[in-house]
Amino acid sequence: MRIAMVSEHASPLAKLGEVDAGGQNVHVAALSAALCRLGHEVVVYTRRDTPDLPAEVSVSSGYRVVHVPAGPARRVGKDEMLPYMGDFAAHLRGHWTGTRPDVVHAHFWMSGLASILAARDLDVPVVQTFHALGTVKKRHQGDADTSPVERIPIERLVANQAARIAATCTDEVLELTRMGVPRGRISVVPCGVDADLFTPGGTVDPHRIVATGRLVTRKGFDTIIAALAGLPGVELVIAGGPPSERLGTDPEAEQLRRQAAEWGVADRVRLVGSVSRADMPQLLRSAAAVVCTPWYEPFGIVPLEAMACGRPVVASAVGGLTDTVVHKVTGLHVPPRSPRALTEALRQLLDDEVVNQSYGLAGRDRAMARYTWGRIAQDTVSTYARVCATQRADQLVGEGQ
């Protein structure tokens, strides 16, 4: 099967941890590689964001990355990319007219718009993964939401025009049905984890908790810092953001340091900056617990990576985290933005070694049973096959008329 993977702002080649580079980049890269291992041909289309990028890159894991010249050849925030989606779509259409893919898989709402514009009249079905929905972001961020005003209506358009929606969690399914998308047009295909890279082992520091992700407010690092005040002797390591040598000029990092000082825990909070994928498993394995407390989370790969490492997880009971982390089985759920509840949950895990280890073992089992990229790729191919079969049936009906 020839698969066109469209990810306008989240390149699978990007360095993770900085603004606009996170879970979607991992998802696109890992899914593309897993699909190639199943024998499929995958081309990823992403926007050219520096002038020295080659037009095309062949990745060792089998897929190709095409850098689309849409807009200026420099970094542009994802919330500022909408004006360039017409050019992006035109470039896609040119590629696909010459070599028609069997299916297009769009990631994020702007990729969906560009894909639908490019694929119309080419008889190529589009599968859409939103990764995040504007309605949810607006609900939680209010006036702080920097999304274009067109986002929500365009998401509704994309949701109705796509052949099928691949939602990443059951919470997203509910949100999509509220938007008017029929349940029968939605499949749940979650993100996955590299269970060969993220493995149990190493030495656990019983006084360390770890949190990792982009240094953006909604990730809730401030909640963990506040909870730390009730956990004497516990160290918090926060990984994410720019490299360590640039943390001193990063506004989000400075804000977290100020909050740590206000709570009297500055000596127990370490910001280490971006951590490479190769080094991340060792960091997660060193933690007595991994903490993930965003205000909202469309899916969240970090808990899966922690579970694959055999570490218990304390997570906000929001979005995809309610699917991946099983309360009192692989970790604990807490309300978002509740330092007191987080403190109590962490006490349970840090004070009871038997519970801590049992949650870690169950987490590894769950990651291996449901969330390996091989399993996710198979589920994704089933979704592709379904839309392709529907398209062929519709064509036969049309020919019969």
Q: Are 167 and 159 in contact (CB under 8 A)?
A: no
What's this model's pTM, rounded to 2 decimal places? 0.89
The verdict on 379 and 329 lying in the same domain is no
Domain contains 136: yes
What φ, ψ does residue 325 adopt, rounded to 5°? -90, 120
The C-alpha atoms of residue 311 and residue 273 are separated, in whole angstroms, by 21
The verdict on 84 and 232 lying in the same domain is no
Instruction: List the pLDDT tens digit at each of the 401 positions of the chain.
Output: 999 999 999 999 986 545 445 689 989 999 999 999 999 999 999 999 999 999 999 999 999 999 999 999 999 999 999 999 999 999 999 999 989 999 999 999 999 999 999 999 899 999 999 999 999 989 888 888 899 999 999 999 999 999 999 999 999 999 999 999 999 999 999 999 999 999 999 999 999 999 999 898 889 999 999 999 999 999 999 999 999 999 989 999 999 999 999 999 999 999 999 999 899 999 999 999 999 999 988 788 999 999 999 999 999 999 899 999 999 999 999 999 999 999 999 999 999 999 999 999 999 999 999 999 999 999 999 999 999 988 777 666 555 55
- List the CATH number of the domain containing 41: 3.40.50.2000
Domain contains 25: yes
8: Cα separation from own chain's centroid = 14
The verdict on 141 and 164 lying in the same domain is yes
Give the residue among 10, 155, 181, 5 at the shortest CA–CA distance from 81. Answer: 10
What φ, ψ does residue 38 adopt, rounded to 5°? -85, 0
Structure-block tokens of residue 190: 């979650």
The C-alpha atoms of residue 39 and residue 30 are separated, in whole angstroms, by 15
The verdict on 365 and 380 lying in the same domain is no
What φ, ψ does residue 194 adopt, rounded to 5°? -80, 95
Give the residue among 345, 22, 268, 344 at the shortest CA–CA distance from 259. Answer: 268
State residue 20's pLDDT score: 47
Question: In this structure, what is the dihedral angle of CA atoms 290, 337, 251, 208, given to the nearest 10 degrees?
Answer: -20
If 0-12 CB within 10 Å is exposed, 13-18 middle and 19+ buried, where does residue 256 land? buried
Q: Are 89 and 118 in contact (CB under 8 A)?
A: yes
Domain contains 155: yes
Domain contains 200: no
3 Cβ neighbours under 8 A, 6+ residues apart: 35, 40, 41, 42, 43, 101, 102, 103, 104, 105, 384
Domain count, the chain: 2
The verdict on 229 and 162 lying in the same domain is no
The verdict on 164 and 290 lying in the same domain is no
Structure-block tokens of residue 8: 């306008």
Give the residue among 321, 37, 33, 387 at the shortest CA–CA distance from 187. Answer: 387
**In which domain, by residue range, is 315 found?**
205-370
The C-alpha atoms of residue 310 and residue 302 are separated, in whole angstroms, by 13
The verdict on 341 and 328 lying in the same domain is yes
Q: Are 113 and 13 in contact (CB under 8 A)?
A: no
Give the residue among 2, 148, 12 at the shortest CA–CA distance from 80. Answer: 148
Domain contains 141: yes
The verdict on 295 and 324 lying in the same domain is yes
The verdict on 161 and 273 lying in the same domain is no
Domain contains 198: no
